[in-house]
Amino acid sequence: MRKIFLGVVVYALAELALLIVIGQNIGVFSTLMLIVATSVIGIYVMKNKGMNSIQNVKNTMARGEAPGAALVDTLLTFGGGLFLALPGFLTDLVGLLLLMPFSRKMFQPIVYYWMRKKMKKGQFIIVQR
């Protein structure tokens, strides 16, 4: 629990320091507009790309194929939009990395590992109707 708390505190301080530095360099108003713009883009990405990804998962399942790759892609796309929607420049960087196809491939093995670990513990169950 201490590690999580420490991680949140370090993240918040890093994000605040970055906001101050960027605000001093480009101005407070420009910094605020940049944060609002990335939040709007993040919401747009979650809505449009997320729905397209969900449709891709449904199409994959309709063909009788396992939706593993499409499901992971959907999860990473939605996560990228969510990180963009959150205020802050560090979260924007992570969100952009999750949305770019070439860097998203770096995160796919991590998600597969996490899903396998949850399935082995019985915390993640896939139900087929």
Residue-wise pLDDT for 29-82, tens only, equals 999 999 999 999 999 988 888 788 888 888 888 888 777 788 888 888 888 889
Judge whether 55 and 48 are in contact, CB under 8 Å. Answer: no
The whole-angstrom separation of Cα 56 and Cα 61 is 9
The whole-angstrom separation of Cα 55 and Cα 42 is 19
Question: What is the domain partition of the chain in residue ranges?
Answer: 36-121
Sign of CA dihedral 18, 24, 26, 27: positive
Half-sphere exposure of 33 (CA within 13 A, CB side): 5
Judge whether 93 and 61 are in contact, CB under 8 Å. Answer: no
pTM for the full predicted model:
0.80
